[in-house]
Amino acid sequence: MIEDKNPQRTSISQLGEFGLIDHLTQQFEMAQPSTLKGIGDDAAVLDFKDKKVVVSTDLLVEGVHFDLAYMPLKHLGYKSVVVNVSDICAMNAKPTQITVSIAVSNRFPLEALEELFAGIALAAKEYGVDVIGGDTTSSQKGLLISITALGEADADELVYRNGAKANDLIVVTGDIGAAYMGLQVLEREKQVFQVNPNSQPDLDAYTYLIERQLKPEARKDVRTMLHALEIKPTGMIDISDGLSSEVIHLCKQSNTGCNIFEDKLPLDPQLIATCEEFNIDATTVAINGGEDYELLFTIGMDDFDKIKGNPNFTVIGHMTDPAEGIHLVTRAHTKIALKARGWNALNKE
């Protein structure tokens, strides 16, 4: 599938650890006022003045979280940043800095790491985060990437998972399920390629789905939009493991139940068409598929008029008393208990 016929291969051992770090990090510029000292000393120095600081970290392992057979390294670098920035956005905070640590086996030449870091640099620029440090080490096998993201917010801006109340509306940004179906398309093409390495995949019908899988974006725009609309969500989480599992997190931590309505789920037409082709139920994909990196949040009913008709936001249900349980209400008006399966669990079926 993704193959460079004449790759240049410079062994990373030629540069040594510090040479390698210098080489990979020289492209990072410091732009955040809170970054006093970035890469180059024993530690970075940050000054957030009177802001609160949010911190989130994530570890990605080759063969578990990504497959280099169809994930180009530049996209992997970009996505690694995005998944962390998304968690900062889910706190209603502004992402400001990241650290990047990698463990890499000697099967990766310098050129591969350059690609990875080009993706990291692109995402750092897109999201306005400074790369302020990290570590590089060798691994016996495969590639591991760990990113820590920091962000800032005023104390009263922060939104936690535990603030939702019964009758609050449940809102999702963008559309959901596409990243999971993108993965199914890529897995299918990988199998075709293994049987016939000369096959040329025609992926035109799936461009949106594949982009959602390979180049997701974090919703850093939502904070600004909600601020302009004078809405502060009562609870918020990002959709990394799938709608169902994130809704359950919100309900458990807020001590509520909820009703999610099947006919309200925002699905892209390409997702619906591809689910038909694969003979998979689109609702199942929308609620259990993960990696959409959209935001799921709750608002008081009084705020409904402020988002009504806004194409960025879809009201998919409402919170209830905890005794009512956590349910999906189908098009046929039957209630099904939601289970936290997440996309990994779905994958094994």
Minimum distance from residue 297 beta carbon to Mg ion (Å): 12
Minimum distance from residue 234 beta carbon to Mg ion (Å): 17
Helix axis angle, 110-127 relative to 73-89, nearest 10°? 30
Residue whose CB is less far from Mg ion, 168 or 238: 238
Kindly state whether residue 238 participates in binding Mg ion, applying the rule CB under 5 A: yes
Q: Tell me the window of 198-206, 234-242, 253-261, 335-343 that interacts with Mg ion (CB under 5 A).
A: 234-242
Kindly state whether residue 268 participates in binding Mg ion, applying the rule CB under 5 A: no
Contacts of the segment 15-21: beta carbons below 8 A, 24+ positions apart: 15/110, 17/136, 17/137, 20/110, 20/113, 20/136, 21/136
Q: Do 214 and 79 touch, CB atoms closer than 8 A?
A: yes
The answer to whether 221 is annotated as binding is no
Kindly state whether residue 292 participates in binding Mg ion, applying the rule CB under 5 A: no
Kindly state whether residue 294 participates in binding Mg ion, applying the rule CB under 5 A: no
* Residue 197: exposure state from Cβ atoms within 10 A (0-12, 13-18, ≥19): exposed
Kindly state whether residue 87 participates in binding Mg ion, applying the rule CB under 5 A: yes
**DSSP per-residue letters across 257-277:** EEEEEGGG----HHHHHHHHH
Minimum distance from residue 298 beta carbon to Mg ion (Å): 15
The angle at the Cα of 25, spanning 23 to 27, to the nearest 5 degrees, equals 95
Minimum distance from residue 6 beta carbon to Mg ion (Å): 40
The answer to whether 114 is annotated as binding is no
- How far, in Å, CA of 64 to CA of 262, rounded? 31
The answer to whether 47 is annotated as binding is no
The answer to whether 87 is annotated as binding is yes
Kindly state whether residue 246 participates in binding Mg ion, applying the rule CB under 5 A: no
The binding site consists of 42, 56-58, 65, 87, 134-135, 161, 238, 240-241, 291, 343
Chain positions contacting Mg ion, by CB under 5 A: 87, 238
